[in-house]
Structure 1
Amino acid sequence: MADLSISTTPIPGLLVLTLPVPGDSRGWFKENWQRAKMTALGLPDFGPVQNNMSYNAGAGSTRGLHAEPWDKLISLASGRIFGAWVDLRPGLTFGTPFTLELGTDQAVFVPRGVANGYQALQAGTVYSYLVNDHWSPQARSSYTYLNLADETVAIPWPIPLEQAEISAADAAHPRLAEVTPMAPKRTVVVGAGGQLGRALVDLLPDALPLRRPEFDLTDPATLDAVPWSQVGLIVNASAYTAVDAAETEQGRRDAWAVNVTGLSRLVEIARAHRIPLVQVSSDYVFDGTAVLHGEDEPFSPLGVYGQTKAAGDALVATLPRHWIVRTSWVIGDGNNFVRTMASLADRGVKPSVVGDQFGRLTFTRDLAAGIVHLTSSDAPSGTYNLTNSGPTMSWAAIAQRVFELRGRAASDVTEVTTAEYFAGKTMAPRPTHSTLDLAKLRQAGFDPADAEQRLVEYLR
């Protein structure tokens, strides 16, 4: 009796499992699905939610070729078949075939977008297959089909197709030259209308952008309207970020509603559909007493906004596949500190700017690129600090540099303390030090550009 084993095929992700089938005069037994053993050998932990059975009364019954919008594990309860698989996903292996004569001692893992076709070689063949999404009549519109007799792929069916039993629908499927590859699952960008969201959409033109007011994390109905079964990644760039307003009675409720309650719904959707999630976090989860913040520093938020972001991070960390991207001082396409300082410089204003808060700017083009790098390189789940590189600066020093780049004197910016600047105003407490350690990010293969370089480019 063979040991449980898994082998690869010419089609990426299509795996053949050899199953031990001990037996005696009474019959046999097999572990048709054993998550712990199979995933340890390399089978994806694909999370099946439905088990289907089908029966072919006679030899020659032939079905396919169907590429379905989910993963499946196909095996036999009885009989023997000839199986054929063709990669119908976009890429270099589009049109690649693989065939195998399959008995009860084997199973095949078929990834989403790979077409499968089966020909019964014995009467009374019973198929069993696990799938990781629930079948529905609507799901059939997402299938991609290939003709069983396609001359390019040239499947060597043991029983000639003219002698086989084939449905009229299967006989009418298109040839390979007419097949549109099955599109990969989409990335969803939540908060696509914000500074970071716009940068992400620029880098991910095929992403599904979710913007207010059509999409609202606090409205469960808008979450339910998204076709999550066809989503491969969620990037949450949405947040309540009105730091000072969050200290008010209504602002406190609004901050928790978006940053925690709304996010918790998104986390449960990601869990239910096994979708990896990117959560954008903040330096405000720390009190700023440490001069340099690492990813493992315990939470110590000073205000309501930081408290909600810390709570959100803790929620996301419960997911098996996640990236918490912690950033600070974000600058992009929208209202922000650099744009405000440039406007003041151009209008001849001489502002007072806080000089006792320290950190680094983060330009959204690099923040978005870092997120794409972490997710596309399959970096380990966890928290990653992500800002631009370069020396730590105060807000006042950055403002002075902006003035210089606009042709004004740095001395036109007056440096004041946080206490002086906010005297008589309602304000949230700020961390004094917001500089984030980038060592883990660099180890993951992403080295962000220098903040000074990006500042010059941004103002240009």
Structure 2
Amino acid sequence: MKVLITGCRGQLGLELARQFNEFNGVYNLIETDVHNLDITNQVMVFELVKAQKPDVIINCAAYTNVDGCESDELNAYRVNAIGPQNLSAAALSVGAKMVQVSTDYVFDGTGNTPKVETDPMNPRSVYGKSKAMGEILVKDTNPRHFIVRTAWLYGEGNNFVRTMLKLAKEKDEVKVVNDQFGSPTSTKDLARCIIKLINSESYGTYHGTCEGSCSWNQFAKKIFEIKGINIKVSEMTTEELNRPAERPKYSVLDNFMLKLVGINEFRSWEEALTDYLKGEV
């Protein structure tokens, strides 16, 4: 199976490549990133896809700077909406499946019940709105699509876990938000899920996060607990953080559709985090 990955240098792109390569030649990878493919350039996308003729396109590329999106709205929509549309249309032109990685930010973060796939989107930030439009354009463009919403992702690269470990070497105390709740998710679990999906015909929208939930503050405490690091973790509110983009307060996702199709293999967030931290010094 020939698989085109965009955003190959990001956390998920790196983990997907690692797992695909474990199958010893079953998958032929075409790895692209912004340095060799501008997904907002329709001509470039179609030329590459028609030349390579992949069986699957997995779009891990995105404008993920949530606050940056607020002041760079046009580029946010180009990358997070038009880019996926270009890839999805190009996939359709060669009969390929399309995977669009999306986010919990397509919801407004209200309430205290985990969101299922059919709950209405109501994004509050430019980032969330652009990713929601990306979902819609992919759905409208290619019927053979998988939209996979995830959240609080960590893997190989810059992420919250590594930020906390770095701060622990520099400070005796860290202040972390305690009024935003979600599900920390390992790229290892998400990549495994995506590989199972592309080997199926179960097209549609899915939530893909590790099981259980916590606040960012509880997440930080668990990181330090697992690593045996003695540091004070104090609480702060979202309002105190005072960021340009609105953050969802409660963005816990229920992997309901994965459970229905029988491929929800996400571990608890604590188990996945413990596994990840084995490799972190």
Length-normalised TM-score, structure 1: 0.56
Judge conservation of contact 1:276–1:322 (CA < 8 Å) in 2. yes
Which of 215, 219, 234 is matched with 1:414 structurally? 234
Tell me the distance in 2 between the aligned counterparts of 1:263 and 1:340: 29
Q: Does 1:193 align with 2:13?
A: no
Aligned to 1:394: 215
Tell me the distance in 1 between the aligned counterparts of 2:261 and 2:247: 30
Which of 261, 265, 284 is matched with 2:82 structurally? 261
Tell me the distance in 1 between the aligned counterparts of 2:206 and 2:46: 30
Which AA in structure 2 matches 1:288? G
Q: Does 1:286 align with 2:107?
A: yes
Shift of 1:227: 4.3
Specify every segment of 5 or more residues in structure 1 that has no aligned partner in the other structure, as ranges.
1-183
Alignment of 1:297-446 (within 5 A): 297-318=119-140, 319-376=142-199, 378-389=200-211, 391-409=212-230, 412-422=232-242, 426-446=243-263
Shift of 1:260: 1.3
Judge conservation of contact 1:193–1:212 (CA < 8 Å) in 2. no
Which AA in structure 1 matches 2:148? V
Tell me the distance in 2 between the aligned counterparts of 1:342 and 1:441: 32
Which 4+ residue blocks in structure 1 deviate beyond 3 angstroms?
none
Could you say what secondary structure the match of 1:208 adopts?
strand
Aligned to 1:458: 276
Higher helix share: 2
Q: Does 1:203 align with 2:24?
A: no
Shift of 1:379: 4.1
Alignment of 1:242-253 (within 5 A): 242-248=65-71, 251-253=72-74
Tell me the distance in 1 between the aligned counterparts of 2:181 and 2:66: 17
Tell me the distance in 2 between the aligned counterparts of 1:356 and 1:401: 16
Which AA in structure 2 matches 1:216? D
Judge conservation of contact 1:330–1:364 (CA < 8 Å) in 2. yes
Could you say what secondary structure the match of 2:48 adopts?
coil
| Bigger RCO of structures 1 and 2 (CA < 8 A, at least 6 apart) | 2
Output the aligned Cα RMSD: 1.5
Alignment of 1:58-73 (within 5 A): none
Which of 63, 86, 89 is matched with 1:240 structurally? 63
Length-normalised TM-score, structure 2: 0.91
Number of equivalenced pairs: 268
Q: What's the CA shift string for 1:174-215, capped at 9, x where partnerless?
A: xxxxxxxxxx4x111111111000011112232111122111
Q: Does 1:214 align with 2:56?
A: no
Tell me the distance in 1 between the aligned counterparts of 2:82 and 2:49: 21
Judge conservation of contact 1:387–1:448 (CA < 8 Å) in 2. yes
Which of structures 1 and 2 has the bigger CA Rg? 1
Judge conservation of contact 2:183–2:210 (CA < 8 Å) in 1. yes
Q: What's the CA shift string for 1:189-244, capped at 9, x where partnerless?
A: 11111100001111223211112211111233532441436210111111111100
Could you say what secondary structure the match of 2:250 adopts?
coil
Specify every segment of 5 or more residues in structure 2 that has no aligned partner in the other structure, as ranges.
22-27
Q: Percent identity?
A: 38
Could you say what secondary structure the match of 2:222 adopts?
helix
Judge conservation of contact 1:301–1:307 (CA < 8 Å) in 2. yes
Which of 94, 104, 108 is matched with 1:273 structurally? 94
Tell me the distance in 2 between the aligned counterparts of 1:444 and 1:415: 39
Which AA in structure 2 matches 1:267? S
Q: What's the CA shift string for 1:335-393, capped at 9, x where partnerless?
A: 000110011123334111000000111110111100001111x142110100111x310
